[in-house]
Amino acid sequence: MTSILPGEPVDLHLHTLASDGFWTVETLLNHLSERGFRVAAICDHDTMAAVAEAVDRGARHGLLVIPGVEVTTRWGERQWHLLVYGVDPALPRARLFRAVLDELADRMWAEAVSAVVTLERHGYRLRSLRKLTAGRPLRPYHVLLALIQEGYATNLATAHELTKRLGEPMTVDLPLERVVAAAHAAEGVCVLAHPGRDDATGRLTEDSLVQILAEVPIDGLEVHYRSHSPEQTAMFRRWCERYGLVASTGSDSHAPGHPVDPISYPAEWAAELLGRFGVEVAPSELPSGSYRGELMKGVPEDRVPG
């Protein structure tokens, strides 16, 4: 059991070069250690390739790294990103979850290869692709980044529109219910990522949450997130209390300053989730009313990079 104070910093949603981030594990862990973080979670998209190194480096820094992954799922005719915490893919009980990640990896590679062939056939030269992959497996986001690098698109959205116009949507996901079942079999905890972010598919509504819970036993919501308004944060916290869900905290940092650096969320805000991984958050010394008032406001302005 690890015991930490309620105000000590944690960030449970971070990305590295293993997916579409630009943090190396070493640089990210050094950054977190230098700023006094106590707990962090590496949650790369659809891969746990960086987790073992992060756990090892974290231990050397006195920083607990919770294994994580952000899985691309589908429910109700749209994609949902699912943060899965606490799975050890090396254990026998993770067999089904390993199969989930393996299938996603195979499909992403096939979609990316198909898109490259189509783009080249239409005259788009992706000379930067080799440098962008840097020896890693080819993924759709590498193709999109190459289109931006070569000047064919201005951002990920316009790059994706280009590939879709050519018949290459590069859309890869798996049913939410299958991913959650596999994660639970591996003793993982499943949290819907950034429910208040509008990714052109709409934000999570309470009606949708109720429908999801009726079909799929997710465990929590990412209540505290870099772009959630104070009103959204308060609303998601109420939903967690109402439906017996755990709350998570994440910056979704992909690189230094992009979109933000890791955020120093107080451990108390994710106490129940941390408790599932043997992290005991000491009771707050603040009066319950004042703490609740601070909590409902979301991340304080001085903790969020500009």
pLDDT of 286:
58
Helix (H, G, I), strand (E, B) or coil at 61: helix
Helix (H, G, I), strand (E, B) or coil at 301: helix
CA 234 to chain centre: 21
Percent of the chain residues topping a pLDDT of 70: 93
pLDDT of 292:
42
Whole-angstrom distance, CA of residue 277 vs CA of residue 279: 6
First to last CA, the chain: 35
Whole-angstrom distance, CA of residue 194 vs CA of residue 208: 14
Instruction: Enumerate residues 6+ apart whose C-beta is below 8 A from 22.
Output: 254, 255, 256, 258
pLDDT in tens, 114-125: 999 999 999 999
Whole-angstrom distance, CA of residue 160 vs CA of residue 167: 11
Residue 63's pLDDT band, with cuts at 50, 70 and 90, is: very high
Assess whether pLDDT exceeds 50 at residue 300.
no
* Phi, psi (degrees; rounded to nearest 5) at 154: -100, -20
pLDDT in tens, 11-43: 999 999 999 999 999 999 999 999 999 999 999
pLDDT of 283:
87
Q: Is residue 294 a contact partner of residue 303, using CB atoms and an 8 Å limit?
A: no
Tokens matching residue 207: 């009606």
What number of other Cβ atoms are within 10 A of residue 8's Cβ? 17
DSSP 107-156: HHHHHHHHHHHHHHHTT---TTHHHHHTTSPP-HHHHHHHHHHTTS-SSH
Q: What is the mean pLDDT of residues 276-297?
A: 65
If residue 100 lies in a helix (H) or strand (E), which one and from where to where?
helix 95-121
Whole-angstrom distance, CA of residue 4 vs CA of residue 268: 9
Is omega for the bond preceding 92 within 30 degrees of 0, making it cis? no
Q: Which amino acid is at 113?
A: V
Q: Is residue 14 a contact partner of residue 40, using CB atoms and an 8 Å limit?
A: yes
User: Tokens 């290459």 label which residue?
Assistant: 168
pLDDT in tens, 196-251: 998 777 899 999 999 999 999 999 999 999 999 999 999 999 999 999 999 999 99
Q: Is residue 41 a contact partner of residue 276, using CB atoms and an 8 Å limit?
A: no
pLDDT in tens, 163-209: 999 999 999 999 999 999 999 999 999 999 999 998 777 899 999 99
What is the rounded average pLDDT for all residues in the chain?
Answer: 93
If residue 174 lies in a helix (H) or strand (E), which one and from where to where?
strand 174-175
CA 170 to chain centre: 20
